[in-house]
Amino acid sequence: MLEQWMYIGIFMVVAMMLPSIAIIIAGLLSPRRPNPIKNSTYECGIETVGPGWPQFRVQYYIFGLVFLIFDVETVFLFPWAVAYNRLGLFAAVEAALFIAILAGGLIYAWKKGALRWL
């Protein structure tokens, strides 16, 4: 079991190494002659306004919260999906019930306008 994961791990390490090596090599080989204009932030040719890290809207936060909750829901449904062919009709009904309860939450979020961007 562990060995199978090992292969995935090796793949991931290699996949991460290739682009990082490319970036490092580019950094080592490229000439370095900075001046103020080069160092300024590039924003499609227009002068930048204000800091690069502005205050976010609170709505991102609400979206994040709702996303988190439905993310947890998928975590619970994942084992059901994997074991689906072993479980039978009863489990399908129960999973549908689980989804239905949380679909109620989706209706709530929708009707309360939490999903709308303003």
CB 96 within 8 A of CB 67: no
CB 41 within 8 A of CB 48: yes
- Which residue from 2, 26, 28, 89 is in contact with other proteins, where contact means CB under 8 A? 2
Q: How far is residue 5's CA from residue 15's CA, in Å, rounded to a whole number?
A: 15
Site string for other proteins, 19-58 (x = CB under 8 A): -------------------------------x--xxxxxx
**Complex with other proteins: residue 42 or 90, whichever CB lies closer:** 90
- Which residue from 26, 69, 89, 96 is in contact with other proteins, where contact means CB under 8 A? 69
Going by C-alpha positions, the residue among 63, 55, 53, 52 that lies closest to residue 118 is 63
Distances (CA, A) of 70 to 63, 80, 102: 11, 16, 8
Contact positions vs other proteins (CB under 8 A) = 1-2, 5, 9, 50, 53-58, 60-62, 64-69, 71-76, 78-84, 86-87, 90-91, 94-95, 97-98, 101-102, 104-105, 107-109, 111-114, 116, 118
